[in-house]
């Protein structure tokens, strides 16, 4: 009997994700994809679903962010000890990579729901004595290294992951691939179900595609063609050799490249994008496949700060496991909402004053922006016209930024450096702070402690976005480009404000920067600043709507119930 026995009693939904963000000090995530995975798992535990999850250990994390004196991002390995949180599972599996046998262990983290449910998450680890020094590093760095490193990691996730669950004694009724990184699992499943037919005319007849498709669910997250993982067949051969006949893979994953998205699309009976708009964009990108849409959410209990937790416990008890109760937010007195928010804001302002020497105060309208610094997120759209910005916002608005750029993304790092130089240049005219090392604890404090949450990506490149949903759980309105989830959550002047024109299908181009920046300045000047300072009643009305109309819907409990009814049980 092992500590896993109690999880082996019924067939599971097995959720595979290259990154999973469960808590702040388990640094195995880089951003939205990982946080979504963690929130998914927590809701699955709360709802007592038969669920297990598989990811990689990422012993050195994504990275810890610091800056030199010019604001240039420096990245360091994260130092953490898995044994503090996890137990080694009683099994090891192996996989052939580059002709060598690589052994894979799994650490188990048990997610415990406050409702009594629990489920295991397996962190695959090659850093064990059986392996060569080189292979021990394969599970060190999330999104590190080159394509060769990536395809090995994806082989471990997909192939060794399936083997590990089997070795541990799990039966699986659905495999859910969270993004294409995991799609090699389909090949392993084809191997498992290979038909025992002798002397066939057509080699492909031995592969039971239909039964694998029945088992697989695929969620795509990337609305740009270039964002999908592709490998050359040279690299595939170098790493996986004769693991799977090339003729068949070319048929399943593309002739030119091995396209991980295509592989998942071809072997999943249910495919979805992560917001309605993203479903449509993906449908256009992949004609011939049926792409559904299940809009993302956030785990309500995780992303509600302590002040709002106390407030909700008092006025709308039961909210955490039944976020639909947010519809009753009208029963909370205005002053109580305002006070809870001011308390959360005080926490944030104290933090930026202590850590960023920001000299901010709690009565000034505070706008927050935190993202991965990918260029399409346009972190410096706000600075399109600096004179105008200072004229509108100087003395009346203070801005707090955070976010990491991928260590190899010089463009993203440049964007951060720009913000540091604006902060210096505008000293005395406009208050700007940059909080370093954006991670879950900072995300909670920042996205729930500001007065307005700003988001201005280039349409239609934001698949969903989730940080704005965290804000809504804490009465913070969004001010955002109409893309991703906000198309569904936005009601102008009720739940927040839009930036720029209604959603369009056009190819993103530079001219949209000016249009969006203009609208951003206009609304800030004519709507948001006057409402905040002159019409507190209206402001609190909007705060309540963010809770009753947005948090009510954009949570992972609702999302998981939809995955169950639309993807898992069909």
Ligand X SMILES: *Cc1c(COP(=O)(O)O)cnc(C)c1O
Residues lying near ligand X in the complex (CB under 6 A): 31-32, 35, 371, 438-440, 443, 465-467, 470
Our CB check for ligand X shows the closer of 108 and 455 to be 455
Kindly state the smallest distance separating residue 399's Cβ from ligand X, in Å.
17
Task: Pick the closest to residue 381 from 406, 418, 336 (CA basis).
Answer: 418
Our CB check for ligand X shows the closer of 443 and 548 to be 443
Report d(CA 136, CA 127) in Å as an integer: 4
Helix extents (H) in 286-333: 306-315
Contacts with 220 (C-beta within 8 Å, 6 or more apart), sequence order: 179, 180, 261, 264, 265, 271, 272, 273, 274, 282, 291
Query: How would you class 285 by CB atoms within 10 Å of its CB: exposed for 0-12, middle for 13-18, buried for 19 or more?
Result: middle
Our CB check for ligand X shows the closer of 330 and 441 to be 441
Our CB check for ligand X shows the closer of 32 and 180 to be 32
Report d(CA 120, CA 107) in Å as an integer: 10
Residue 350: other Cβ atoms inside 10 A: 14
Kindly state the smallest distance separating residue 506's Cβ from ligand X, in Å.
22
Our CB check for ligand X shows the closer of 268 and 466 to be 466
Our CB check for ligand X shows the closer of 438 and 568 to be 438
Q: What is the DSSP string of 79-113?
A: ---GGGT-EE-S--EEEEETTEEEEEEEEEEEEEP
β-bridge partners, 14: 52, 175
β-bridge partners, 433: 400
Q: Are 221 and 264 in contact (CB under 8 A)?
A: no
Kindly state the smallest distance separating residue 296's Cβ from ligand X, in Å.
8
Task: Pick the closest to residue 257 from 233, 234, 236, 241 (CA basis).
Answer: 233
Kindly state the smallest distance separating residue 201's Cβ from ligand X, in Å.
50
Kindly state the smallest distance separating residue 306's Cβ from ligand X, in Å.
16
Sign of the Cα pseudo-torsion (505, 35, 466, 44, in order): positive
Q: Are 381 and 516 in contact (CB under 8 A)?
A: yes
Report d(CA 112, CA 50) in Å as an integer: 14
Report d(CA 544, CA 473) in Å as an integer: 10
Our CB check for ligand X shows the closer of 35 and 458 to be 35
Kindly state the smallest distance separating residue 443's Cβ from ligand X, in Å.
3
Kindly state the smallest distance separating residue 427's Cβ from ligand X, in Å.
28
Kindly state the smallest distance separating residue 460's Cβ from ligand X, in Å.
15
Kindly state the smallest distance separating residue 45's Cβ from ligand X, in Å.
19
Our CB check for ligand X shows the closer of 438 and 479 to be 438
Task: Pick the closest to residue 175 from 9, 406, 16, 379 (CA basis).
Answer: 16
Helix extents (H) in 16-59: 32-46
DSSP label of 331: G
Report d(CA 384, CA 219) in Å as an integer: 35
Our CB check for ligand X shows the closer of 30 and 398 to be 30
- Tokens representing 185 are 């699992």
- Tokens representing 463 are 């698949």
Report d(CA 434, CA 176) in Å as an integer: 37
Closest residue to bound ligand X by CB? 443
In which element (H, E) is residue 399 found?
Answer: strand 397-402
Q: Are 15 and 52 in contact (CB under 8 A)?
A: yes
Kindly state the smallest distance separating residue 413's Cβ from ligand X, in Å.
17
**For the chain, what is the radius of gyration of the CA atoms?**
24
Distances 127 to 56, 87, 449, 510, 564 between C-alpha atoms, Å: 11, 15, 39, 45, 35
Report d(CA 365, CA 393) in Å as an integer: 9
β-bridge partners, 94: 103
Our CB check for ligand X shows the closer of 31 and 144 to be 31
Kindly state the smallest distance separating residue 171's Cβ from ligand X, in Å.
33
Our CB check for ligand X shows the closer of 107 and 369 to be 369
Q: Are strands 100-112 and 93-97 parallel, antiparallel or unpaired?
A: antiparallel
- Tokens representing 295 are 């809009």
Kindly state the smallest distance separating residue 461's Cβ from ligand X, in Å.
11
Our CB check for ligand X shows the closer of 279 and 443 to be 443
Kindly state the smallest distance separating residue 519's Cβ from ligand X, in Å.
20
Kindly state the smallest distance separating residue 438's Cβ from ligand X, in Å.
5
Our CB check for ligand X shows the closer of 332 and 559 to be 559
Our CB check for ligand X shows the closer of 366 and 466 to be 466
């Amino acid at each position: 009997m092992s500590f896993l026995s109690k999880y082996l009693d019924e067939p599971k939904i097995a959720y595979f994700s290259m990154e999973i963000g469960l808590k702040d000090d388990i640094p195995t995530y880089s951003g939205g994809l990982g946080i979504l995975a963690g929130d998914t798992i927590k809701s699955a535990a709360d709802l007592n679903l038969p669920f297990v999850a598989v990811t990689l250990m990422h012993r050195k994390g994504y990275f810890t962010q610091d800056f030199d004196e010019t604001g240039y991002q420096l990245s360091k390995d994260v130092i953490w000890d898995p044994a503090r949180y996890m137990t080694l599972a009683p099994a090891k599996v192996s996989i052939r990579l580059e002709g060598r046998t690589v052994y894979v262990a799994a650490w188990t983290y048990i997610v415990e729901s406050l409702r009594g449910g629990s489920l295991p998450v397996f962190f695959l680890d090659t850093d064990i004595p059986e392996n060569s020094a080189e292979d021990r590093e394969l599970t060190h760095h999330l999104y590190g290294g080159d394509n060769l490193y990536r395809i090995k990691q994806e082989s471990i996730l997909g192939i060794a992951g399936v083997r590990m669950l089997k070795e541990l004694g799990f039966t699986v009724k659905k495999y859910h691939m969270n993004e294409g990184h995991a799609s090699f699992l389909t090949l392993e499943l084809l191997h498992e179900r290979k038909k025992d037919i002798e002397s066939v005319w057509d080699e492909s007849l031995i592969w039971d595609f239909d039964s694998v498709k029945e088992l697989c669910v695929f969620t795509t997250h990337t609305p740009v063609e270039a964002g999908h993982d592709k490998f050359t067949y040279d690299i595939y051969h170098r790493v996986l050799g004769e693991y799977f006949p090339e003729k068949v893979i070319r048929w399943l994953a593309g002739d030119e490249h091995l396209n991980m998205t295509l592989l998942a699309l071809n072997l999943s009976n249910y495919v979805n994008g992560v917001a309605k708009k993203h479903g449509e964009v993906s449908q256009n990108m992949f004609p011939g496949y049926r792409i559904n849409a299940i809009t993302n959410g956030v785990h309500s209990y995780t992303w509600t700060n302590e002040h709002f937790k106390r407030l909700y416990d008092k006025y709308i008890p039961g909210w955490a496991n039944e976020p639909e109760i947010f519809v009753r937010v009208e029963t909370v007195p205005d002053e109580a909402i305002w006070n809870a928010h001011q308390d959360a804001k005080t926490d944030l302002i104290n933090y930026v004053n202590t850590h960023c020497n920001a000299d901010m105060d709690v009565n000034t309208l505070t706008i927050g922006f935190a993202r991965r610094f990918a260029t399409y997120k346009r972190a410096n759209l706000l600075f399109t016209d600096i004179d105008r910005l200072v004229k509108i916002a100087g003395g009346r608005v203070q801005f707090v930024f955070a976010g990491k750029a991928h260590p190899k993304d010089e463009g993203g790092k440049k964007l951060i450096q720009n913000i540091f130089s604006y902060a210096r240049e505008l000293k005395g005219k406009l208050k700007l702070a940059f909080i370093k090392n954006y991670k879950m604890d900072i995300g909670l404090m920042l996205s729930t402690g500001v007065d307005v949450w700003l988001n201005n990506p280039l349409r239609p490149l934001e698949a969903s976005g989730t940080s704005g949903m965290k804000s809504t759980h804490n009465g913070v309105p969004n001010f955002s480009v109409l893309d991703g989830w906000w198309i569904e959550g936005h009601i102008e002047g009720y739940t927040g404000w839009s930036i720029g024109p209604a959603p369009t299908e056009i190819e993103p181009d530079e001219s949209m920067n000016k249009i969006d920046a203009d609208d951003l300045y206009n609304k800030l000047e004519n709507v948001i600043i006057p409402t905040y300072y002159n019409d507190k009643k209206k402001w609190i009305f909007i705060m309540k709507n963010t809770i009753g109309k947005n948090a009510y819907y954009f949570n992972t409990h609702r999302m998981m119930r939809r995955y169950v009814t639309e993807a898992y049980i069909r």
